[in-house]
Amino acid sequence: MNAIIRGKPDNLDAIGERFDRARLQRPVFLNSVPKAGTHLIRNILRMFVAPDQHWRREYIQHALLSRSLGAFSLDKPMISWGHMLFSDESAVALRDTRHIVLVRDPYDWVLARARFYLSDEFQGNLNHIKDGGASVEDVIMMMILGAHGRVPDLKDIYAMNAVAWMGSSAVIVRYEDIVENLKDLGSKRAEAFFRQLLADCGLDLPTDWRDRVEAGADRRESRTASENLKVTAEVPAVLSDIHKRVVDFHAPGLRALLGYD
C-alpha cells in the first residue's frame, strides 16, 4: 500500500541536544506492528543515542530493504525504525542487529488504525471512506478483515510483523507496558523497565533517564498521537463487544500469544 503521512516535523533533534547521548556499538532496529506506537518508542530512544547514529532517511519497510541495508552495518552502527515483515531477506539483513519488536493489544490497535485511516494526515487508497464515506462501524471491520485489494487484514499484519519474529532473537515490547511505566516514572518498576529496554539496545541507564524519557514521550512532538490527528469521523474509545468477537474469530489465540489475556 502506498500512502503519504502529512504533518509537521517534531523538535526532538533540538530538544535532545541538552543530553549527552551514548554511542551504539551494534546497530539497533525498532520494528513494530504499524500503528502500535512506533513514534513513541522511537522518540524516547532518540534521547539516548548519539544523533549522528540516527537513521534519518526513511521508515524502513520490506519494499525499501535493499536501499536501507546501511542501517544494519556493523562498521557504522545506527538506530533505525520501521515496519519490517518477516522474510528470508529481512532475517538475513537483521542477523547481527539488536532487534526490538513493538506490539499493541489488537483490540486497541483496531481503533488506532481506524483513527489514522480516517485522518487528514493519512493520504492513500482509502480516502473515499473519510468524511462519512463509510460508517465508522464498517471502517472498523475493514481494519480487522482488511479491504479487498487495498489494505491487509489484522491477522496477516500481526503474523508477519510480530508473531513470526517471536521465535527469533528479537525482543518483544508491549506498547501498553511503555505507557503504564510512563505514568509511574518515579517508581522502581519504571526504572527496571527502562533499564531493560536500554539494555536490549546495548545501552546503560544514565542518571537523568527520567528527563530523557519525558522529553521523548512528549505527545506534542508526535505527529501521529491521536490528539494531533484531524480525524474526519468520531471513532469510539473502546472496541465494541461484537468487534472484539470478530477479532477473536479472525485471529484466535493472537491476544494470548502476545500476552493480552
Show the CA angle centred on residue 65, arms to residues 64 and 69, nearest 5°. Answer: 125
Rounded-to-integer distance, Cα 38 and Cα 241, Å: 27
* pLDDT digits 0-9 by tens, 32-85: 999 999 999 999 999 999 999 999 988 999 999 999 999 999 999 999 999 999
Distance of CA 160 to the CA centre of its chain: 14
Rounded-to-integer distance, Cα 257 and Cα 84, Å: 20
| Angle of the 175-182 helix axis to the 188-200 helix axis, nearest 10 | 140
Tell me if residue 179 falls in helix, strand or coil.
helix
DSSP 239-258: --HHHHHHHHHHSTTHHHHT
Distance of CA 185 to the CA centre of its chain: 21
Neighbours of 42 (CB within 10 A): 21
Rounded-to-integer distance, Cα 14 and Cα 12, Å: 5
Joined grid coordinates for residue 228: 494531533
pLDDT at 2 over 50: no
Nearest to 71 by CA among 62, 60, 63: 60
Unique residue bearing C-alpha cell 537513521: 55
DSSP one-letter code for 184:
T
* pLDDT digits 0-9 by tens, 191-243: 999 999 999 999 999 999 999 999 999 988 765 555 656 777 889 999 999 99
pLDDT at 129 over 60: yes
pTM score of the predicted model = 0.91
